[in-house]
């Protein structure tokens, strides 16, 4: 009896099963990745819409000293959770993140404790709002934050 044909048949079947298994693994990984990227894109689009439509701030005044005091007003209804403060003097820039103080919708606060690293000559103060969104608005994560850089408030000293 010649059994070499049966072992070749078994090897061919195992090879086909192996290839199909690998293809299924790759397909499931790719579809899961594509789904995650789509939901992340939806969240980014939502955050962009919220920034564009529900966020607008204004710097009413800045008291310059060792520490700056920035009088900030929220002109729309979205709560703002953090701020990026950009101080400019000629060609020098200092950037600070100011957190821990929530600016509610249509409220006014004074941001204080911001170190002024320029002795004299501070020219421009820019404030960039940061928002935090949570479920059920978000779909890909339970909580996320976004900078609303298009809604930056500029104050010239």
The per-residue pLDDT for range 34-54, each reduced to its tens digit, is 777 777 888 888 999 999 999
Residue 128: what pLDDT? 97
pLDDT at 1 over 70: no
pLDDT at 12 over 60: yes
User: In this structure, are residues 129 and 99 in contact, taking their beta carbons and an 8 Å threshold?
Assistant: no
| Helix or strand (DSSP H, E) at 156 | strand 153-156
pTM of this structure: 0.75
What are the boundaries of each domain within the chain? 1-157
Q: Answer whether CATH 2.60.40 is correct for domain 1-157.
A: yes
Sheet bearing 67-74, strands edge to edge: 57-63, 67-74, 108-115
User: Looking at residue 14, what DSSP letter applies?
Assistant: H
The per-residue pLDDT for range 63-109, each reduced to its tens digit, is 998 889 999 999 999 999 999 999 999 999 999 999 888 999 999 99
């Amino acid at each position: 009896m010649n059994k070499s044909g049966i072992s070749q048949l078994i090897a061919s079947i195992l090879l086909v099963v192996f290839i199909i298994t690998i293809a299924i693994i790759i397909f499931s990984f790719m579809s899961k990745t594509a789904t995650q990227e789509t939901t992340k894109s939806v969240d980014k689009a939502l955050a962009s819409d919220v920034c564009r439509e529900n966020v607008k701030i204004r710097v009413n005044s800045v008291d310059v000293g060792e520490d700056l005091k920035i009088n900030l007003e929220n002109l729309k209804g979205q709560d703002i959770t953090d701020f990026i403060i950009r101080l400019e003097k000629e060609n020098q820039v200092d950037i600070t993140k100011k957190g821990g103080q929530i600016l509610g919708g249509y409220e006014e606060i004074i941001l204080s404790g911001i170190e002024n690293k320029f002795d004299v000559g501070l020219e421009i103060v820019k404030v960039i709002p940061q928002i935090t969104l949570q479920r059920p608005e978000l779909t890909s994560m339970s909580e996320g934050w976004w900078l609303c850089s298009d809604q930056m408030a500029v104050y010239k000293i």
